[in-house]
A and B are shown apart, each in its own frame.
Chain A
Amino acid sequence: MSNSIPFNERADRFQGYRGPVKEILEKHQIGVWSEVDVTNDRGSVFAGVILPRSETFDDLHLVVKLFNGYNIGIAAERIVSIRETGYKKAVYKIPEKEFPFDPQKKNVTLLGTGGTIASRLDYRTGAVIPAFTPGELYGAVPELADIANLTTKKLFGVFSENMGPEQYKVLAVSIGKEIAKGVDGIVVGHGTDTMSHTGAILSFMVQNSPVPIVVVGSQRSSDRPSSDAALNLINAVRTAAECDIAEVMLCMFGPTSDNYDLLHRGTRCRKMHSSYRSTFRTIGDTPLGTVIRYPNDDGSHFKYLTDDFLRRDKTRVPVINPVFEEKVTILYYYPGFKPDIIEGLTDMGYRGIVIAGTGLGHVNKPLYPAIKRAIQKGVTVVMTVQTLWGFTQMYVYDTGRDLLDLGIIPLDNMLPETAYMKLAWVLGQTDDRRQIHTMMTTPINHETTPREPHNGYLILQGGLPEVDAFVQKHWK
């Protein structure tokens, strides 16, 4: 293998290297993936392979992964000699194993958007190489074959934060096609950051689904042995294949422990912690159910926490409506908020503004003229609450009544992000003010609920003896 590729023919020879280090590498005709002996001014010899360097690091150090597994940076100014002993380019590939087909099992399609659910690790760089094809997934999570026959389609490879209108439309259309093919369930692999946004928009773009549509990802990177990735994927595929709930759902860890996943309704959930495994919570309601890897005593993997859901029915015909108005935004109100932002949005041609107001749905008086002008110019302005839990109630105070008079539409307990997705979807279909009002205030899939059960709001306060005593008895 040594030196089998001539130096000049190697791609990305100096990946990330600049300045003095690059000069040394050029001088010695050595680059990334070269196996080297580097000797420094103290006579220390470092034997290992040259790794690419992050562009954000300085240009003074050469990164070598030593053959003992550790990686170090060697200062260019201390390098006395450098000698290539071999060359081995990283192969970013996962060996495929054929995914077994069992006619007894349900058929599930996994649509990939770019989030890494299963992966292989590149031991040299620490890079995570996504496993995606059924063969790759089977190699990484062989348990999947015990659950369903899996087909995969890679729609795009974007990070969660780069998902947007174009991707939502493609995703909705693809889901429609898979349903038309007669699959028993659909899994959408997704990064976690905007997973609930996608859950919300899919709930509007794909209605009346005959089968479960399960959005899944991993919160702690899938290269770590303790990742939630494999378990989430196993549970999501199980849900797609067997669960009775034919809705758009998110399937993510219930507790941080490896225990069960929660099935959240796409319109009602939110990422509530930047890194915790149990980050997704249903807001203002209870989740739809739980799914667990090993069956409960009754032989079922599912516990339904409500019976108010659309049941699996393969004869039902879905409605796919992939529209999206991009000139919509969310404003997060704060004391001292200046009207010029609203003026600006109006002048820039925005068609919809979701306000996340304080308390029951409030903003201060100086904004009124700007809001009034926006509405007069045809902008739809809707109100949600930044408390996330609870309803807008704009009749209680004068400020609320004033806002209603201006033509703001209160959206009850619709989450701000869900309201954004719904407004963009509605404005993608109509500019008729009355129709917009009706559509926004008529729930499609529980994005507003008529009532909030008392256990729909539960943020246990740590430190209280009774709460700590409760937590102590459970796997967190």
Chain B
Amino acid sequence: MLDSLDYQAVGLISGLEVHQQLMTSEKLFCRCPAGLYTETHDGEVLRHMRPTLSELGEYDGTALMEFKTKKEIIYLLNQQNVCTYEMDDTPPFLVNQEAIDVTIELCLAMNMDVIDEVHIARKQYLDGSIPTGFQRTAIVGVNGWIPFKGRRLTITHVSVEEDSCREVKDKGHQIIWRTDRLGMPLTETVTGPELFTPQEVREAILLCGLVARSTGRVRTGIGASRQDVNVSVRGGDRCEIKGVPRAGLAVKLVHNEGLRQCNLLKIREELHRRGLRTPDSVRMTAHDVSDVCATADLGFMQRALQAGGKVYVVKIEGVAEIAQHLTQPDTTFLDELRGRVRVIACLDEAPIVLSSAAMPEFPGKHGILERLRKRVNPGDNDDFFIVFGPEEDCRTAAEEIRSRFADATAGVPKETRQALVGGFTTFERILPGPDRMYPDTDLPPTRITRQRMEEIRSRLKPPPWERIERYTSWRVPEETACYLIRRGGAEIVDAVVEKTGVDGLLAGIVIGQQYKALQRSGVPVQRLGVAEWIQVFDLYTDGRIPREAIPAVASTMAKDNLDAEGASTALGIALRKHEVWAKEADRLTFEGYRCKSNEDTDQKRVRFLTGRAVRMLKGKAPAAEVAEFIKTKLGEVAR
């Protein structure tokens, strides 16, 4: 059950939120440079986040949870990449129109309906990831689709928003953020909940990435694109796996989340069987047991006590053995408790929450365990847990443990879960609802005229599926086609084919492979743009360099910053006249014929000799012609 899951049977459903940084020179709402990352700072600001009252005059679940954590939030500032806007001491400047244009381009690539008038909204975040406490975001397109595995994958909406801070450290009641990335323009592409297996999630992530890359106006590299994956199973509820860095990792994450939800549903069944049917039916009592634990030979407990903290035992009635129930491989319900306590009560010293069942694992702890039992007096069906740290946090932890069991009676709580290496997730926060969004009153809306839209449409690059189809019809491998689209090489291939009339397969393969090879060997490949590649292929189609010399010429152009002429001259490549190379090839063939054994087939012999001749001629003769020449020669000799 733990490694296999019949996705159809459990009703696994998934949808994506793909975040992609845009390639603009400035940030979205201020004039700071975008994409300038720094690892040092020259100023710090301290803030706290206070939830604003909701529609009903009450704090909503997420807000309250995040307020409970009472975090000291510190922002690290560097003059080079942040101004007083990012630190929320200056109102926003007008929205960056370049970012709106790129977003419109992305929308059009995905067959979307572009919004007539774009309005900025504020989305509240109390974790401190944005110093204002809200992210400015705006829907630019709705109601789109992309072709996916023979069907249409719905693109619900695309929005443009400001990127958040980068987390530096989160320990206890303090969280530290770096602000360099804050405010960079980012698009969020939301798909419909139409992905039914982990593999599909992986493929959809790749496809969305390909569409974004095909515009040539998005950022690449670590952190430039991140995805959140929403997962649910039948009877479960939507959980958002946040920050999936690579498509490949999604497979295990989605699978494991499916498993987790199925197991949480089983736990619900078991709780119901025991009569715990509603959240209110879960009863908790908490006791200060610092005195009992004063002699415990446990480092983490002693450290907490010495720092003036407490040890608490939290008894939950009727939940015996539930905490040991597996939720994922090597993960139990106890980890669900730990996640909540770590985030909400800010207790983060391992093991965070100790279960009574795990106590005997520590040598010689039976004595303490017995004294704890005596103190809390658990019934046969009860279980108890141990937490340690500052007293107020221990109380919060006790309440969170109760609250997590209460949620378990309802099944799967809506959560945002953080993706960890190894395909696991851990609790990050309660999933916020639409209630946390409200109109931004600082900025006027941006009207998108149909004229502006059509201008962008006329510049639109072919969508990736169209290119893949075209390239594969040229017999370029699909993998190479995708690589070209991702890396911007497809632009070059299309231009080369159009301008020089060269065969698409040749252009696709040479450019695709050459690009990769040059990049791997650290050559400044960005020097080879459309114009440069056209020069190279022009030399080839003019018959001035052989096909085989194209990579060497391109590589020399990039390395030595030369034009194609210069590079081919530097390499000493210029096709020799037929009479010249034929004489040499003749000699080689003659030698080759003599030294080869008779078992070789003619074909093999031709290939061997041609290869040798081309090498010795150092690319100064076209391989196809050399082969033809050698074939004829061999025929003559045989006769």
**A interface residues (Cβ-Cβ under 8 A, vs B):** 40, 42-46, 51, 54, 56-58, 60-61, 63, 65-75, 78, 93-95, 119-127, 139-140, 220, 223-227, 230-231, 256-259, 273, 275-277, 468, 471-472, 474-476
Across-interface contacts of B258 in A (CB, < 8 A): none
Nearest residue (CB) in B for A274 is B90
Say yes or no: A71 contacts B133, CB within 8 Å.
no
CA distance A74 to B134 in the complex (A): 25
Say yes or no: A71 contacts B45, CB within 8 Å.
no
Say yes or no: A95 contacts B88, CB within 8 Å.
no
Nearest residue (CB) in A for B63 is A225
CA distance A54 to B439 in the complex (A): 12
* Given known A44-B113, A126-B439, A475-B45, contact A63–B119 (CB-CB < 8 A): yes
Across-interface contacts of B138 in A (CB, < 8 A): 70
Chain B residues 425-458 with CB under 8 Å of chain A are: 434-441, 444-445, 447
Across-interface contacts of B84 in A (CB, < 8 A): 275-276
CA distance A269 to B440 in the complex (A): 32
Say yes or no: B123 contacts A74, CB within 8 Å.
no
CA distance A69 to B438 in the complex (A): 7
* Given known A69-B434, A475-B45, A476-B44, contact A256–B89 (CB-CB < 8 A): yes
Chain B residues 75-115 with CB under 8 Å of chain A are: 77, 84, 87-91, 113, 115
* Given known A95-B57, A121-B53, A125-B439, contact A275–B117 (CB-CB < 8 A): no
Further pairs besides A69-B434, A226-B132: 12, Cβ < 8 Å: A57-B444, A69-B436, A70-B157, A72-B117, A73-B118, A120-B57, A125-B439, A126-B440, A224-B52, A225-B52, A227-B50, A276-B84
Say yes or no: A224 contacts B57, CB within 8 Å.
no
CA distance A160 to B478 in the complex (A): 65
Q: Does B69 contact A (CB under 8 A)?
A: no
CA distance A474 to B46 in the complex (A): 10
CA distance A71 to B53 in the complex (A): 20
- Write out, one digit per residue, whether chain B residues 130-144 have a CB within 8 A of any chain A CB (1) or not (0): 011110011100110
Nearest chain B CB to A435 CB, angstrom units: 45
Say yes or no: A42 contacts B113, CB within 8 Å.
yes
Say yes or no: A220 contacts B439, CB within 8 Å.
no
Q: Does B124 contact A (CB under 8 A)?
A: yes
Q: Does B55 contact A (CB under 8 A)?
A: yes
Say yes or no: B116 contacts A74, CB within 8 Å.
yes
* Given known A63-B119, A225-B124, A475-B46, contact A58–B447 (CB-CB < 8 A): yes
Across-interface contacts of A72 in B (CB, < 8 A): 115-119, 139
CA distance A43 to B74 in the complex (A): 47
Say yes or no: A40 contacts B113, CB within 8 Å.
yes
Across-interface contacts of A54 in B (CB, < 8 A): 444
Nearest chain B CB to A275 CB, angstrom units: 5
Nearest residue (CB) in A for B433 is A69
Choose from A56, A126, A140, A273 the contact partner of B438 (Cβ within 8 Å): A126
Q: Which 10 A-B pairs have the closest CB atoms?
A: A73-B117, A225-B133, A69-B437, A126-B439, A69-B434, A75-B116, A257-B46, A95-B57, A44-B143, A120-B53
Nearest chain B CB to A68 CB, angstrom units: 5
Q: Does B610 contact A (CB under 8 A)?
A: no
CA distance A131 to B68 in the complex (A): 22
Nearest chain B CB to A69 CB, angstrom units: 3
Nearest residue (CB) in B for A225 is B133
Say yes or no: B137 contacts A70, CB within 8 Å.
yes
CA distance A470 to B87 in the complex (A): 19
Q: Does B122 contact A (CB under 8 A)?
A: yes
CA distance A93 to B118 in the complex (A): 29
Say yes or no: B439 contacts A225, CB within 8 Å.
no
CA distance A70 to B131 in the complex (A): 21
Nearest residue (CB) in A for B446 is A73
Say yes or no: B53 contacts A140, CB within 8 Å.
yes
Say yes or no: B42 contacts A123, CB within 8 Å.
no
CA distance A468 to B77 in the complex (A): 12
Say yes or no: A73 contacts B142, CB within 8 Å.
no
* Given known A67-B434, A475-B44, contact A225–B49 (CB-CB < 8 A): yes
Say yes or no: B435 contacts A225, CB within 8 Å.
no
Across-interface contacts of B569 in A (CB, < 8 A): none
Say yes or no: A121 contacts B438, CB within 8 Å.
yes
Q: Does B557 contact A (CB under 8 A)?
A: no
CA distance A273 to B51 in the complex (A): 26
CA distance A167 to B435 in the complex (A): 38
Can you name 30 A-B residue pairings with CB atoms under 8 Å?
Answer: A44-B142, A44-B143, A60-B447, A67-B434, A69-B436, A70-B138, A70-B159, A71-B121, A73-B447, A78-B116, A120-B53, A121-B52, A121-B438, A123-B54, A123-B55, A123-B437, A126-B438, A139-B57, A140-B53, A220-B88, A224-B132, A224-B133, A225-B50, A258-B46, A258-B48, A275-B91, A471-B42, A472-B42, A474-B44, A476-B87
Across-interface contacts of B132 in A (CB, < 8 A): 224-226
Say yes or no: A257 contacts B122, CB within 8 Å.
no
* Given known A256-B87, A275-B91, contact A123–B46 (CB-CB < 8 A): no
Nearest residue (CB) in A for B436 is A69
Q: Does B150 contact A (CB under 8 A)?
A: no
Say yes or no: B52 contacts A120, CB within 8 Å.
yes
Say yes or no: B434 contacts A74, CB within 8 Å.
no
Across-interface contacts of A73 in B (CB, < 8 A): 115-119, 445, 447
Say yes or no: B434 contacts A68, CB within 8 Å.
yes
Across-interface contacts of A123 in B (CB, < 8 A): 54-55, 435, 437-438
Nearest residue (CB) in A for B133 is A225
Nearest residue (CB) in B for A230 is B50
Q: Does B371 contact A (CB under 8 A)?
A: no
CA distance A313 to B131 in the complex (A): 42
Q: Does B47 contact A (CB under 8 A)?
A: yes
